[in-house]
Amino acid sequence: MKARGAVIHQVGGQWEVQDLEVSEPAEDEILVKVMASGLCHSDDHFVTGDIPVNLPMVGGHEGAGIVEKVGSRVTRVKPGDHIATLFIPACGVCKYCVRGQSYICNNGAGMETGMAMDGTARFHDTDGNPIGGVTRLGSFSNYLVCHETQAVKLPDDIPFDLACLVSCGVATGYGAAVNAAPVRPGDVVLVMGLGGVGANAVQGAKHAGADHIIVVDPAENKMELAAGFGATAAFTSIDEARPLIAQLTNGQGVDVTIVTVGRVDGDIIGEGFDTVGKAGSLVLVSVGSHERSLSVSPQDMTNLAKSIKGVMYGNCRPLGDIPRLLDMYRTGSIKLDELVTNRYKLDDINQAVEDMHAGRNIRGVVVHEH
């Protein structure tokens, strides 16, 4: 199968759009005609080296498309089905899946290689050299091959450019508030960063019943956008937000702070942790520094019973939660259309990344041509 995709060849480089060859699916794999792919900040971490992977690599993991072909042992989907890609497999049988923790399925091991589960490549360049796919996917290509456990069937009536967002950003942000925190009715919640994940953390906090949802993001254009997703206040810095936090909490601090900034480090974690009140939680969604340093007070953590929680994939069960989120979109309980700020052709991928860095987008989406 001939394909066209955006590839990163070296840390610090730019995405290069090139012709690709896509292998036939193995007996437990599917060939997907990718219709749309969200521009998630995680893909940028492969470029910066924050997430070490084997390069070259076809980017993209937030995908939606149509099943073109299936292997002989595939049972979850069939040709013609609309699917969203799962950047973590959900095998359903490992220790974590059977405990309801498919967001840390054992089959996620080795994804940094970009190779399929059998250790071989599904993408090749026109000279036959193997190329990996981000999280064994590579939705910046208009065709990909993945394991059936990395696909969830979608209703046919959901547009692909919205469905792709639910495969990562929506599930991650919404789940960070509802599953990981968890936000409770009456809570005061702070969300740090209003991108494609942060906007959905706001939606999740609202749906969970928070009385006050405060957004902090340095981009001025996002101040008005925050209210549309359910924020009750928005500021460009935590310092600006402190008087309101003190007023709403009698000086105690928020119940939950959710960190969804583009790149996190120990100082940002410390700044967020300081906003949390007694028995409150800092929920860490963002990816960033590998340094073993957190600017937090162990005494505050102990004496005030505060906690820091890491969250992967919104601690969701994607096979059930993604269809449920789409049902919520149908009924107006969550917003998807408003998440898409700009749509791009694949050839404009580097402009899309620049817009993401500049804070111009809630979410940008690549719409593939075929």
Residue 29 lies in a domain: yes
- Say yes or no: 150 and 245 in one domain: no
Cis peptide leading into 56, omega within 30 of 0? yes
- Say yes or no: 245 and 347 in one domain: no
Please name the helix (run of DSSP H) or strand (run of DSSP E) that holds residue 248, with its range, or none: helix 238-249
Please tell me the predicted confidence (pLDDT) of residue 164: 97
- Say yes or no: 13 and 108 in one domain: yes
Please tell me the predicted confidence (pLDDT) of residue 51: 83
- Say yes or no: 284 and 350 in one domain: no
Strands (E), 138-239: 143-147, 151-154, 188-192, 212-216, 233-235
Residue 198: which CATH number?
A: 3.40.50.720
Overall domain count for the chain: 2
- Say yes or no: 292 and 221 in one domain: yes
CA torsion angle 171 288 232 365 (round to 10): -50
Residue 278 lies in a domain: yes
- Say yes or no: 143 and 281 in one domain: no
Residue 159 lies in a domain: no
Please tell me the predicted confidence (pLDDT) of residue 209: 98
Q: What would the pLDDT profile of 49-79 be if each residue is shown by its tens digit?
A: 888 889 999 999 999 999 999 999 999 999 9
Q: What would the pLDDT profile of 76-94 be if each residue is shown by its tens digit?
A: 999 999 999 999 999 999 9
- Say yes or no: 95 and 188 in one domain: no
Residue 212 lies in a domain: yes
Please tell me the predicted confidence (pLDDT) of residue 52: 86
Among 77, 331, 362, CA closest to 201: 362
- Say yes or no: 276 and 342 in one domain: no
Domain range for 273: 174-311
Residue 129 lies in a domain: yes
**Which residues of the chain carry a pLDDT beneath 50?**
none
Residue 22: which CATH number?
A: 3.90.180.10
- Say yes or no: 197 and 232 in one domain: yes
Q: Is the dihedral of CA 182, 185, 190, 196 positive or negative?
A: positive
Residue 325 lies in a domain: no
Please tell me the predicted confidence (pLDDT) of residue 289: 73
- Say yes or no: 126 and 217 in one domain: no
| Prediction pTM value | 0.95
Question: In a 10 Å sphere around its CB, with 0-12 CB exposed, 13-18 middle and 19+ buried, how is residue 358 labelled?
Answer: exposed
- Say yes or no: 73 and 107 in one domain: yes
Residue environment code for 239-251, b if the CB has 16+ CB neighbours within 10 A, otherwise e: eebeebbeebbee
- Say yes or no: 306 and 196 in one domain: yes
Read off the DSSP letter of residue 222.
H
Residue 319 lies in a domain: no
Residue 99 lies in a domain: yes
Whether the CB-CB separation of 140 and 57 falls below 8 Å is answered with: no
